[in-house]
Amino acid sequence: MKKFIKVTLIIILLLFLAALIGVSFYISSIYISARAMKLDEEALSSPYVNVKVYDSENIPIKEDNELNKAFASINSLSDSTKNAFISIEDKNFYNHKGVNYKRIVKAMLNNLKAGKLKEGGSTITQQLVKNTQLTSEKTFERKIKEVALAQKIENKYTKDQILEQYLNIIYFGNNCYGIESAANYYFSKNAKDLSVEEAAMLAGLIKSPAKYSPIKNYDNSLSRRNLVLSEMNRDGLLSTEEYNRAKNSDIKLNINGERKNRLNSYSQAAIDEAETVLGLPAKQIALKGYKIYTYQNQDKQKALSEAIKGQEIDSDYAGIVIDNQRHAVVAYIGNSNYKILDAKRQPGSCIKPVLVYAPALNEDIIYPCSQILDEKTTISDYTPKNVGGVYHGYVSARESLSKSINVPAVKVLSYVGIDKAKAYAEEMGIEFDEKDDSYTLALGGMTYGVNIEQLAGAYSTFANGGVYATPRFVSFITDKNDKLVYINKPKEKEVLREDSAYLLTDMLRTCAESGTAKKLASLNQDIASKTGTVGKPNSKQNLDAWNVSYTKEQTCGIWLGNLDNTPISYAGGNQPTEIVKNYFESVDDNSQFIKPDNIVERQIDTTELNENHRVVLANTYMPERYTQKEIFSMLNLPSDISNKFTKIDKTTFNSKVENNNAIIDFDAKDYVTYNFITNGKKTTISGKNGEQTVTLPLSQAKQSVEVEYYYTLSPEIKETDTISFIKTKKTQQNNNKKWFI
């Protein structure tokens, strides 16, 4: 037994050594191969490049796609500016040979704890390699290459040259590549004139330009800037007096407004997408001569731009148009100090079709005509409120959606279930935070929200018969020799049944005809629409206004708001809907929604709908005035058929004697005629609905009242009752004196 254990341990040891040798050989081969690679010196030194972007006709898009137009020499920068980046990014920059092995080991341990490649332990030199020589993918092989090339750069360039190259290529968010560009955008000044607190803010920004944006996430940016200042003070590069002064100052931005349109242009969105699909930063895309071919349609781009200009909007805004069948963004425009597609906003009621009503229809939980009680209610400690505190009683799902009534939306979400509803929305491109688990979701209450591309993309699912694919700006990309390196192949998936998508579309048609988007009613187009307005908490002011509308051919989404959360004076049913209207008026779109074969029209019994709030099919005997036509999926037809006008239900008559009068109370139906006959006289009640009271004088000690009631339009279908009374001077309840014939 001992011998067996000994042999086993030896085998394990040999296997371990073999694996170690294999890994070492693998690492060595990659390292040697990387050391043999030729440095792309143009990428390291070129301060100015231009990305080539083309529209759907292969014509260059006439927008400014220049990168690193501005350049800052290392000698022009203050010591405090250089020290800010060194303290937070690479304290031992002037001492190492391109790689800090202690940082790499620490990063590896943190990655093991996290279970993924979360940290890289990169030095400034390694970051320079990552941004100029390699793709941005997080793999072990790329990390080895990064180390080898960093050492190669250290052997070729001085430390100041490396720092200069780094500061002129690093990304600061908002399309700012290089410190000169960032200083000009955020502070409207040259990099050489940055104060210590301004330099610290920029140094803190590069770790995550979105998370630490001083425009969108001011508190995060301030905290990160103060961390940089603290590190500078700890490193002896900033006096305690300077540190205290700087950390107690606000971040005072002076945004260069001239760059706003470029920041949110169609071509910039395409460049950002190309960075993702190629795994390369924009500067490398430009230096390698890649050409980006997009789906942009110049006519629709112009129409969208003119539609927005016609409203004279004084807030941030964005508009997008998606070709539904191709899942292609054919027009996009935005205006803000921040990249709008990098931001997320609360969608308000625009989330209702995606998260609430589409899943409910697809799960066969509701019909468009289903009645839902709109009342004050509490569900799982959440009490939703309607706009203006007005409640409408029973309303149809169609009306609830088209008029954007809140309480029914929350109730329907509870019928579907939050997890199931979120799963549907996620299949349509909507992203949720783990904290998004309450019924506030039905009204758009998300931790982070959505951007206009995601929301419009989700709506395009309905136009496509329930099929979704991520909308894209980029059609294909070629290298400088016109060789194809990327082509967009939409990955379609069926999220909803075709019949469910059509039913929802028909409900949103009502919204465009008579609901919150009724400004679109004058369009001579087959269009579906939904609006959304997000109010500022505890205020009558608004923060976001949305409209997303679609035809069979295209989806148009509009957002108005301010990314710094300055209130706006707009609501979804007003300016955003006007912009959508202006857009569709100026484009040629005569497309029609196609009704699937399994969508059918059926007559339902409106008396049952109004009295008992049940959807039942009308029988062939029902007069037309008591029916209404509704559409259904053949996969989810009402199972019950009304028995009205085939027989008449018994009516309960409550009777009593009061002051020698016979008092009869009953619940009347407006489609039934009631005759009360006594002493040869007839009293008739017809066309009345609800609680009714009949008073008849008693002339005899014992007297009977004959009651005859029948369908007004079908008198042959009738019932009769006899009610007996005993005349008395006192009020007498006559609960036991009742016979039915």
pLDDT value, residue 735: 45
Pairing mode, strands 714-726 and 702-711: antiparallel
Q: Which listed residue (265, 315, 349, 642) is catalytic?
A: 349
In this prediction, the residues of the chain whose per-residue pLDDT falls under 70 are: 1-4, 6-7, 9-11, 13-43, 45-49, 63-69, 103-121, 135-142, 257-261, 729-741
Q: Tokens for 626?
A: 């008591």
- Label residues 619-638 b or e (16+ Cβ within 10 Å = b): eeebeeebbeebbbbeebeb
Of 337, 260, 267, 283, nearest to 63 (Cα)?
267
The answer to whether residue 349 is catalytic is yes
Return the pLDDT at 68: 52
Instruction: Using a pLDDT cut of 70, give the percent of the chain over it.
Output: 86
The mean pLDDT value of the chain amounts to: 88
pLDDT of residue 108: 57
Q: Quick one: pLDDT at residue 731?
A: 47
Residues 273-299 have pLDDT tens digits of 999 999 888 878 888 889 999 999 999
Report pLDDT for 4. Answer: 64
Question: What per-residue confidence (pLDDT) applies to 200?
Answer: 93
Cα–Cα distances in Å, from 573 out to 217, 306, 403, 410, 437? Answer: 29, 19, 10, 21, 28
Cα Rg of the chain (Å, integer): 36
Cα separation, 306 vs 303, whole angstroms: 5
Q: What pLDDT was estimated at residue 317?
A: 96
Q: How far is CA 668 from the centre of its chain?
A: 48
42 is catalytic: no
Chain segment 712-727, per-residue pLDDT in tens: 998 999 999 999 988 7
pLDDT in tens, 338-381: 889 989 999 999 999 999 999 999 999 999 999 999 999 999 88
Catalytic residue, from 46, 80, 87, 89: name it: 89
- pTM value? 0.79
The token duo for 139 is 């793999």
Contacts of 607 (CB under 8 A, 6+ apart): 626, 642, 644, 669, 671
335 DSSP β-pair partners:
317
Q: If you search the block for the tokens 């005035």, which residue do you land on?
A: 625
Amino acid 499: pLDDT: 98
Instruction: Count Cα atoms within 13 angstroms, Cβ side, for 387.
Output: 16
**For residues 345 and 451, is the Cβ–Cβ distance under 8 A?**
yes
Question: Are 338 and 480 contacting, i.e. CB atoms less than 8 angstroms apart?
Answer: no
Residues 337, 215 contacting (CB under 8 angstroms): yes
What pLDDT, on a 0 to 100 scale, did the predictor assign at position 24? Answer: 56
